[in-house]
Amino acid sequence: MNYTDGNTLTCGLIGNPVHHTMSPLIHNSIAQMKGINLVYVPFEVPKGGVKNAVRGANALGIKGLNVTVPYKSDVIDHLVEIDPLAEGIGAVNTLVRCEGGFKGYNTDMTGLYHAMQDEGIVLDGQTVVILGAGGVARPVAYLCATKGARKVYVLNRTYEKAENVAKEVNEALDEDLGDMVIPMPLDSYKELLSKEDSFFAIQCTSVGLFPDVNSAVIEDEEFYKHVHAALDVVYKPLETKFMKLAKAAGAKTFSGLKMLLYQGIDAFELWFEEDNIKISKEEADIIYKSLVMDVMGATNIILEGFMGSGKTTVSELLSEELELELIDTDEAISEAEGCSISEIFDVQGEQAFRDMETDLIKMLVDEHVREMVISLGGGLPVRKENRELLKKCGKVVYLKTSPEEVYNRIKDDTSRPLLRGDDPLSKIKKMQEERGGFYEEAADIIIDTDGKTPKEIVSEIIGSLGIE
């Protein structure tokens, strides 16, 4: 719904701070998809104000609330009822209206489990290694232990904190599960590698969070050779150093952004359980793409590369896959001038055309154009001013292609001036040598396109951006 009236339902988030929350994007998107007259808003609650916030929400007829730090435990004392999972975890993040007040649930953990299922992660019989022993580690350890994990290790720099998490979770588990959560000092991780050949690693610290993007709790490549799947609860950036190290070792990786998505979806479904509202996988994927774009700064995806790199086909497929508008800079300039690029070169000269490219990119930056796929003309990144503008305009993906591959792809295209005359392969090599450094300087992501189909390239781009 794009309006509110006397029938508008209200849900929201209580916490402190809440101004950076992405929850409104999730819940307001779902409401619009489902045609529900609802608005979701954040409420910053001052220290000591949780009791009044819950009472006030009840008095005002608030349909449901999410709870974030630092109130996930404090809120429990002010609830009418609590779900067994939330009670076992000792934390509540979702309040559902019931008779006399609210019932507390923990959809952080059901959301994490749904994210794992979405990624094909199976916990049953698996070893899980949790890095960190902060507020997130306890519920994650509890979830993994109750969903069939064989062992759950908690590694932390301060061993006493890991010990406390293990003790609390083991006490909360059914007796027949035993003490399956095992504490370990972080610097003893090599001892773990001698015991466990393969495990699912979950990064539960703030290490790697922007701006500390070049750090990981463990940076030893040997550790990651044992990781078959990895989750980082940090999602800014979308691909942390922890995830990069795990991916380089061949592990399946996914961001905490999916956990955020599914905890929101689970909460929404609880609020509308009586109406049997369910969010489909297709709807979840649409919202996830919006979240990714939001984390990226609602930015553009810009493709650069030499002729024959597949920019045209890949940009078209990418815009279709992500449901984003497409701009081809050559086509945009040609349309604006009412003539072809070759005619611009012949009549006005190359310098005039290069100025048009700069003006176009400058306009996209100045007008804050967002959420588009932009396919660049091959020579556009050569100009330094353009490379600087591209950094402000979006994420630049360099489709890198070998000279031999370029030649094979375009050798039958008689319209290419580069193919005229003797030894076109040498001409391609020379031009690539001249432009390659500029492409790499402009790029945020480099994709090797040799031997890959356009669909495979699109899939790799989406994966590199963290959208899959």
Q: Which residues are marked as active site?
A: 72
Residue position matching structure tokens 């890959």: 452
Kind of pairing between the strands at 64-67 and 94-98: antiparallel
Asked if 93 contacts 105 with a C-beta cutoff of 8 angstroms, the reply is yes
What is the Cα–Cα distance from 325 to 319, expressed in whole angstroms?
Answer: 6
Residue position matching structure tokens 């790029």: 443
What is the Cα–Cα distance from 258 to 157, expressed in whole angstroms?
Answer: 27
Identify any residues that bridge with 185 across adjacent strands, giving them in sequence order. Answer: 156
Q: What sign for the dihedral angle of Cα 313, 317, 319, 320?
A: positive
Outline where DSSP puts E strands in 48-93.
64-67, 81-82
Alpha-helix residue ranges (DSSP H) falling in 174-273: 189-195, 221-224, 241-248, 257-271
| HEC per residue, 26-48 | HHHHHHHHHCCCEEEEEEECCCC
- In order, the DSSP letters of 98-118 are ETTEEEEE-HHHHHHHHHHHH
Amino acid at the residue 241:
K
What does the block give as tokens for 254? 């996914």
- Residue among 457, 212, 79, 101 nearest 91 (CA): 79
- Residue among 206, 203, 205, 157 nearest 183 (CA): 157
